Amino acid sequence: MNIDDCTQVMDSFLKDPACGDLSQYVLNEQEWLAPKQLSRVLEIPHNFQQLLSKEKTPTLCDFLPSFAQIIELWEELQRQLPKMRQSIQAGLSKIKDYHKHMARVPAYALAMVINPDMKFDYHHQQNDMDGRCWAKDMMIEKMQGYRAQAHTTNSEQTQAPQAQLSEAEAMFSHCQHRGPQDQSVEEELNAYLADPTFATTTLIYWQEK
């Protein structure tokens, strides 16, 4: 129910003779102005919650960009609704503080980096180059850990004897195409960041890799 529906319901209730003499409490248009403006303010975080809760795929990557969007929309409302400025500022102070702390939570940063449609877009939009470097270093560290674990697992498995290289293969082995395991972790990450591929969802993108 939106605020206009509430107005009609309240007016009907207060003017109903069956409810007694309550007509004196009917609000005029000017008195309804504050609730209507407050409704516009609260509509922004409400829509944020609705958007993320309806998604069927992981939405952790959307939190920081969405918080930044809330801040931007509320700051615009402060200019549009001067009488709500103080109320909005109270919300802005809290959400900016929360946003600042969230920006350095590894889970949020990594969730954005592994999303092929986002990567470091958020950090560029926020002009947060320190945050970008921090997130990239953390991603490299996680990839190194994963690669080391995978290498240990492979080493423990029985492997077939390596075929001996021919003279030609040995001579030109340095020219052979390198696979992902031959790349450094940073090279592998940079290749991913340069990949222009977009995906319907993060899960679909990585399932196809």
> Could you tell me how many residues make up the chain?
209
The answer on pLDDT for 177 being more than 50 is no
Calculate Rg over the CA atoms of the chain: 28
The pLDDT-based confidence of 140 (bands split at 50, 70, 90) is very high
Q: How far apart are CA 112 and CA 119, in angstroms?
A: 5
The pLDDT-based confidence of 180 (bands split at 50, 70, 90) is low
The 8-class DSSP code of residue 160 comes to P
Determine the pLDDT at residue 155.
62
Q: How far apart are CA 145 and CA 151, in angstroms?
A: 10
| Mean model confidence pLDDT for the chain | 81
Q: Which of 158, 171, 57, 71 has its CA nearest to residue 114?
A: 57
Compare 186 and 202 and report the one with higher pLDDT: 186
List of residues 6+ apart from 190 with CB closer than 8 A: none
Average pLDDT over residues 138-155: 83
Please name the amino acid found at residue 133: C
Alpha helices in 55-128 (DSSP H): 63-80, 85-102, 106-113, 121-125
Structure tokens at 166: 């021919």
Q: Which of 51, 99, 106, 50 has its CA nearest to residue 72?
A: 99
Average pLDDT over residues 44-55: 82
The reported pTM is: 0.70
Determine the pLDDT at residue 97.
95
The pLDDT-based confidence of 59 (bands split at 50, 70, 90) is confident
Q: Which of 77-81, 176-180, 199-203 has the lowest mean pLDDT?
A: 176-180
**Annotated domain spans of the chain:** 107-147+184-209
